């Protein structure tokens, strides 16, 4: 198990368990081409999105696949399954005994997160499937991958030099974000019926309505906003509020201010973490940040933590290269240029230069104020703070696009890379902290002019970003 998770023993054979079977989809090459076309401003299909039903018609597993998997599950007595519209993911409830019979090798243990990360049931051993299913099942979910522990931390506040000028702020608040990224009080949602934004909370880490209200009372005076989320999908529990869930909702709703916001809640995401293996040190890329279909946001801090200044790399910013996904074509030029022109790269055995490189953009990740369990908490830091801020700004861009009769942005990366940094403040100073050993001397990748795997293309300058993304 990853650091922070401890086994408290095997789970009893009659206890119930939920596993997800990923069934082999069809027409993936066609789907890939469609994704490329609807995301490419140069294509006549740009913004002409498929409905979920159209996607289902394209990728739905074959009837042979559906019936083979169903027969196999029924033979083991597994009947309580739920599917999705695309029918490619089947989630089934079963006993531990049934699961261990279906998947020879698997052995289910209960793990607890040491840092209040909840409880999960996982198998420390590999599992197998009958050969007859090889052509029909891609993988089974719920055995190996552990949920990401929150990367947020409260750092000690920097020392304040009282001799400095009076134009100081005491940490990052919505007003500071809006000032830095050039948002005026008019840059808010105007009520477009088809615009909405969403974030997700995991591991019994909930946000509280009362915290959001308190946060907006304290920090929302200078811009129109909503005081509550429009809809919670899934279960919103009654436990203590989680810091990460609180931050996501509070900053999504103050960057993407006055836009209808949904929260997806699921009672059960880190940069190029360091991984010490038998072959020495390697950067361990993270999922979903390393997916080529996700816009990944790196972290920055102010050069002077008490002033709205230019941004530099926050040393905790994640970034690197995927070992799974090859480099997508949209970033080919940017990544080749970075690798070809950098003078201080980490040793090449530490990363896979052929993989998808990330992040794509960045935003502040240091020194946030968050209200959690009725208490305003200062100096909260972590790259997970950057994401809701960048996401909220894209919701504001979508609002303007919808008002102008344009489709929403959809998958941003092909367009983002073709803009070559237009609409963004380039971050050019600082390195992220990586595997600490003599060889790399505590340094991971470093930012430089243009794209880099620390801050991507940079942080948003809203009016310029809007201009670059409004048409077509």
Ligand X SMILES: *[C@@H]1O[C@H](CO)[C@@H](O)[C@H](O)[C@H]1NC(C)=O
Binding-site residues from annotation for Ca(2+): 426-427, 450, 452
The whole-angstrom separation of Cα 22 and Cα 66 is: 11
The one among 65, 68, 151, 258 contacting ligand X by CB under 6 A = 258
The whole-angstrom separation of Cα 383 and Cα 187 is: 24
Nearest 5°: the CA angle 183, 189, 190 is 120
Single out the catalytic residue among 88, 204, 214, 244: 244
188 scored as a contact of ligand X (CB under 6 A): yes
Q: Taking the complex as a whole, how short is the minimal distance between the CB of residue 331 and ligand X, in angstroms?
A: 12
Count the helix, strand and coil residues of the chain and give each as a percent rounded to the nearest 5: 25, 25, 50
User: Which H or E run includes 253?
Assistant: helix 243-255
189 scored as a contact of ligand X (CB under 6 A): yes
The smaller minimum CB distance to ligand X, of residues 151 and 459, is found at 459
193 scored as a contact of ligand X (CB under 6 A): yes
Single out the catalytic residue among 150, 384, 395, 447: 384
The whole-angstrom separation of Cα 27 and Cα 23 is: 13
Residues 6+ away with beta carbon under 8 Å from 366: 155, 172, 299, 300, 301, 302, 305, 314, 381, 385
The one among 12, 77, 191, 239 contacting ligand X by CB under 6 A = 191
User: Which H or E run includes 262?
Assistant: strand 261-266
230 scored as a contact of ligand X (CB under 6 A): no
Number of residues located near ligand X, criterion CB under 6 A:
17
Per CB under 6 A, which region of 112-120, 198-206, 247-255, 459-467 contacts ligand X? 459-467
The smaller minimum CB distance to ligand X, of residues 190 and 235, is found at 190
Catalytic residue list contains 244 = yes
What are the backbone dihedrals phi and psi of residue 186, each rounded to the nearest 5 degrees, phi first?
-80, -15
The one among 30, 43, 190, 266 contacting ligand X by CB under 6 A = 190
The smaller minimum CB distance to ligand X, of residues 188 and 370, is found at 188
* Binding site per annotation, positions: 426-427, 450, 452
The smaller minimum CB distance to ligand X, of residues 117 and 421, is found at 421
Looking at beta carbons, which residue is closest to ligand X? 191
336 scored as a contact of ligand X (CB under 6 A): no
355 scored as a contact of ligand X (CB under 6 A): yes
The smaller minimum CB distance to ligand X, of residues 142 and 189, is found at 189
Contacts 24+ apart (CB under 8 A), 187-190: 187/223, 187/257, 187/396, 187/462, 188/223, 188/224, 188/225, 188/257, 188/258, 188/259, 188/396, 189/256, 189/257, 189/258, 189/259, 189/260, 189/395, 189/396, 189/399, 190/258, 190/399, 190/403
224 scored as a contact of ligand X (CB under 6 A): yes
- Residues assigned a catalytic role: 244, 248, 384
Please give the residue ranges that form the binding site for ligand X (CB under 6 A).
Answer: 182, 188-191, 193-194, 224, 258, 323, 326, 352, 354-355, 461, 463-464
């Amino acid at each position: 198990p990853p650091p922070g998770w401890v086994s408290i023993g095997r789970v009893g054979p009659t206890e119930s368990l939920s596993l997800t079977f990923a069934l082999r989809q069809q027409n993936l090459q066609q789907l890939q081409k469609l994704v490329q076309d609807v995301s490419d401003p140069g294509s006549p299909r740009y913004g002409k999105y498929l409905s979920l039903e159209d996607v289902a018609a394209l990728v739905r597993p074959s009837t042979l696949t559906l019936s083979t998997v169903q027969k196999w599950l029924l033979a083991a007595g597994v009947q309580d399954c739920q599917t999705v519209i695309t029918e490619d993911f089947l989630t089934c409830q079963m006993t531990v005994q049934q699961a261990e019979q279906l998947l020879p090798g698997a052995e289910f243990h209960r793990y607890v997160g040491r840092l209040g990360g909840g409880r999960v049931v996982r198998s420390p051993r590999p599992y197998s499937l009958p050969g007859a299913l090889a052509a029909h099942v891609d993988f089974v979910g719920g055995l190996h991958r552990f949920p990401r522990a929150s990367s947020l931390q409260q750092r000690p506040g920097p020392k304040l030099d009282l001799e400095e000028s009076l134009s100081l702020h005491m940490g990052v608040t919505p007003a500071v974000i809006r000032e830095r990224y050039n948002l005026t009080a008019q840059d808010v949602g105007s009520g477009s019926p088809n615009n909405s934004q969403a974030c997700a909370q995991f591991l019994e880490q909930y946000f509280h309505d009362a915290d959001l209200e308190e946060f907006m009372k304290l920090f929302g005076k200078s811009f129109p906003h909503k005081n509550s989320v429009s809809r919670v999908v899934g279960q919103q529990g009654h436990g203590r509020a989680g810091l990460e869930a609180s931050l996501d909702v509070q900053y999504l709703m103050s960057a993407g201010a006055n836009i209808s916001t949904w929260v997806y809640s699921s009672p059960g995401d880190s940069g190029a973490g360091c991984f010490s293996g038998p072959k020495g040190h390697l950067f361990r890329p993270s999922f979903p940040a390393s997916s080529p279909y996700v816009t990944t946001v790196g972290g920055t801090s102010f050069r002077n933590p008490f002033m709205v200044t230019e941004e530099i790399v926050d040393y905790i910013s994640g970034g690197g290269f995927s070992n799974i996904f090859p480099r997508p074509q949209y970033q080919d030029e940017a990544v080749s240029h970075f690798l070809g022109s950098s003078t201080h790269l980490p040793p090449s055995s530490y990363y896979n230069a052929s993989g998808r490189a990330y992040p794509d953009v960045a935003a502040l990740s240091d020194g946030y104020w968050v209200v959690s369990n009725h208490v305003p908490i200062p100096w909260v830091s972590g790259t997970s703070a950057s994401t809701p801020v960048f996401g909220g700004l894209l919701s504001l861009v979508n609002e303007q696009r919808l008002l102008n009769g344009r489709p929403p942005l959809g998958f941003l990366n092909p367009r983002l890379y073709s803009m070559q940094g237009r609409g963004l403040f380039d971050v050019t100073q600082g390195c992220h902290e990586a595997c600490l050993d003599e060889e790399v001397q505590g340094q991971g990748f470093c930012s430089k002019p243009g794209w880099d795997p620390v801050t991507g293309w940079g942080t948003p300058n809203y009016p310029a970003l809007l201009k670059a993304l409004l048409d077509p």
